[in-house]
Structure 1
């Protein structure tokens, strides 16, 4: 028999920026508590702490939220939700200032934020920390604030195994595995802040623990999932055979680093007039094409950064040196890697999903703010803005006077089987897709489900694959070799795991 805990406040699954922001927001001015469940120690196992770029917001005199919104819409390739984008960009500057007030040590000059230019931004608007250390520094400040808040309880080594629902489908808690023991936690609301899907792929820049489990748990509970086919591949993961792959931040290209092939030829002009500062999906496909053609791909920052690497980009420098590459003198070998998931559990602007009692925020949620392709450095901003909104909304929920209908943990996937899935996902649902490859991948997923049951990891993989097969066009992060054109009208995907939900809706709806 499982242990049972009745908790009077939101239970938050995940301890990245979205989860911890939700926790702080949910207890602010309220008499209730918040419980954060993290499968790993705080500051580990979450993509937020690994983010190198920073937070994009209209913080300078020559910038406005409207300009930021226009750039976000353009990157989203016709699928952004205008209301979500307007909210993100309007609330963005205050979100950055709030994190600075918590102690996040953003780079400054004469009291103003030092802002960097990144690809597809029309203004320099990315607030950074130490060149490439924004995520870790922001998380350190937020973790300190959480630990100093008595109303927030943290359980590390805790992994969700099922969302608990009553007979009406309302989410009334979570079945968690804590230090090897199953615990039923009944609560007024659950907030999913479990991150993306990078760990479903063989080449990713995200922590291995981030493998779509929150998305899968929500889907298994019947939640509507939005746009799961849109996976962003960061063009410049450092190709030194490491899992996960270290990241060569986009800021290097913002500083003027050049992509070259093994002949030292700069090749981006062949693919886009913006060259190195083209949208991420364009750069990823260009690098993929050069590598597929046997020409290789390298990032040359020897001139624009050179000897300043240790000070200006310490994380990149350390990663390169550990792999035997000195970026001060040699080009950095790069490969596209899964970096961000634009899709996720469909939510409104307060993080409410289609299931009563269930909220989602951060990368596992789909507010519609990213559309088909995330604008660089909008991810930490989204986590902060929408994490706070989800926390406030969830704090207003009351306990449902009911009992869970099922207490069985969802099936798990053995580590060796997960590696089979990761290789198949990278091969067939990667930078370039086709009906042939996606159909082959679906066969792999079905065989694994037959052998191991339909757990959250396989559910997430199935959703990505099904939606990618159904989208007969190339748009943003989704590129089909057999459907290279982009349809005139952008239509979003909304689907449930069993296909009950109408499959497509216009982005403007």
Structure 2
């Protein structure tokens, strides 16, 4: 596959990557690269649903107002208007593709979620993301113009040194590094929840797209804003399985060990306040009481409704010996969604010519400082649909040089790499989690810089950061591919950590998903986006 040439390369196979690939004109040859198999990303885990103002008592204007309010003054109004005005068409497109949303009689069913003024969240039981991704994946596999390249790990963008244009990407696959040439490269690699010790994200969510784009000079925006979901299952040995916002929307109560609905102490909307408020309420309440978890009580909801709406939550809780019909679910907050990402416009263009980003990888300006529930899947679909207008220049295929055979085995360096990868999530959870302070942030930044310096001194680095587009590599060692992937993923996580920490230390206020105990107030002077390009940090007006 050396120097395979495509019109478009899409990296990532969540809702944004799949839908984007389907929207690209059929006359263009598309490579869809996924680092695992199809259906392993965070979209597949999305439970609550997809928001759209399509009922008679709702309107795009109300959806706009709710999104702007949740975004705490940092949403780009034009980007949000674009989102809500195109929502109905996107839902219709998904229905026509075969996504089986729940219905009440002949009408699409909609539920209420936190910070929405109307019930506008469409769902497919409690596995909406899975329903959407499965349908899209099936469509992708039927498209003759799309070639799926699975278990391929993206390493580095191919930037033309003379023009500055992105013209492809290098990937690690089948014990080799291959450069894939393309007129347009679209990053849709999802979020970076694995940088935190507590996260609802799958193992593949390591911020790869943002990291490789930043290293190539792309502008990263609002990296400090991380959404911590209030209610992740907290049982010893269990993953931090997300208990959907929709559960509270349907009437579940958030209670403490004494059975008291404590969230009303912190906000008049109680458990239906915006996510950042509820997460901070839990964090603060646990600190006050010394308890280790709070509880989500579904018993106020009719059992039949629970069985109809939340079969997957029932199944997972039962697996971990939690019978939600007779006792509350133990929950704590966990990192869930990253509002920051690669800065793009409404056409998904980044600051690098030929490079695009969609989904959680991108910063469209839609979510501001705090994402409104169920707007993420909508953003994936609405913004990815703009790729139907993608125009690419015909470029001459670049002739490769000889493939180099490498016999390296880096087993002696893995202890250091694993040590850094294992320590980083705890460092980030305690320094850049729900509550932050300057002293702790500065200490974490110094640690991350030191760890990064150690990684860059290792010989594996030459294949991740220093390989030239004229160089294709084959590895003789069976272990080399997994070793290099571990190294690259760890480097990506370190770079994501650096971006979050630097931005969090820079913003000396509290707003949305960014809360500073040493600067607890929201300041009008900080109604600005934070921007990182290379090591330069600045802010710009909205």
TM-based fold match above 0.5:
yes
Residue 261 (structure 1) aligns with: 256
* Cα distance in structure 2, aligned partners of 1:140 and 1:401: 34
Residue 229 (structure 2) aligns with: 234
Shift of 1:484: 0.1
State whether residues 194 and 201 of structure 2, in contact with CA within 8 Å, keep that contact through their aligned partners in structure 1: yes
* SS at 1:99 equivalent: helix
* Cα distance in structure 2, aligned partners of 1:474 and 1:329: 39
Q: What are the superposed Cα offsets for residues 358-385 of structure 1, whole Å, 9 maximum, x if unpaired?
A: 0000000001000000000000000011
Match of 1:81 among 76, 80, 86: 76
* Cα distance in structure 2, aligned partners of 1:466 and 1:379: 25
* SS at 1:272 equivalent: coil
Stretches of structure 2 lacking an aligned partner (at least 5 in a row): 405-412, 462-490
State whether residues 3 and 399 of structure 2, in contact with CA within 8 Å, keep that contact through their aligned partners in structure 1: no
Residue 448 (structure 2) aligns with: 445
State whether residues 255 and 304 of structure 1, in contact with CA within 8 Å, keep that contact through their aligned partners in structure 2: yes
Residue 5 (structure 2) aligns with: 7
Question: Is 302-311 or 364-373 further displaced after alignment?
Answer: 302-311
Larger Rg: 2
Match of 1:496 among 533, 536, 539: 533
Residue 58 (structure 2) aligns with: 63
Residue 399 (structure 1) aligns with: 395
Residue 151 (structure 2) aligns with: 157
* Cα distance in structure 2, aligned partners of 1:305 and 1:99: 30
* Cα distance in structure 1, aligned partners of 2:319 and 2:311: 12
Q: What are the superposed Cα offsets for residues 46-82 of structure 1, whole Å, 9 maximum, x if unpaired?
A: 1111000111001101111111111100000000001
1:36 matched to 2:54? The reply is no
Stretches of structure 1 lacking an aligned partner (at least 5 in a row): none
* Cα distance in structure 2, aligned partners of 1:485 and 1:128: 36
* Cα distance in structure 1, aligned partners of 2:455 and 2:118: 49
* SS at 2:268 equivalent: coil
Question: Is 449-458 or 51-60 further displaced after alignment?
Answer: 449-458
* Cα distance in structure 1, aligned partners of 2:101 and 2:393: 35
Where do 1:264-413 residues align within 5 Å? 264-293=259-288, 294-295=290-291, 296-306=293-303, 308-389=305-386, 391-399=387-395
* Cα distance in structure 2, aligned partners of 1:305 and 1:416: 48
Residue 112 (structure 2) aligns with: 117
Residue 217 (structure 1) aligns with: 212
State whether residues 2 and 400 of structure 2, in contact with CA within 8 Å, keep that contact through their aligned partners in structure 1: no
* SS at 1:236 equivalent: strand
Residue 132 (structure 2) aligns with: 138
* Cα distance in structure 1, aligned partners of 2:90 and 2:393: 24
Residue 459 (structure 1) aligns with: 495
Shift of 1:491: 0.9
* Cα distance in structure 1, aligned partners of 2:396 and 2:273: 50
Cα pair distance change 1:497/1:83, threshold 3 Å = same
Cα pair distance change 1:243/1:185, threshold 3 Å = farther
1:186 matched to 2:189? The reply is no
State whether residues 264 and 270 of structure 2, in contact with CA within 8 Å, keep that contact through their aligned partners in structure 1: yes
Residue 142 (structure 2) aligns with: 148
Cα pair distance change 1:308/1:127, threshold 3 Å = closer
Shift of 1:396: 2.8
State whether residues 166 and 402 of structure 1, in contact with CA within 8 Å, keep that contact through their aligned partners in structure 2: no
Shift of 1:312: 2.5
Aligned length: 496
| Superposition TM-score, scaled by structure 2 size | 0.88
Cα pair distance change 1:171/1:242, threshold 3 Å = farther
Shift of 1:397: 4.1
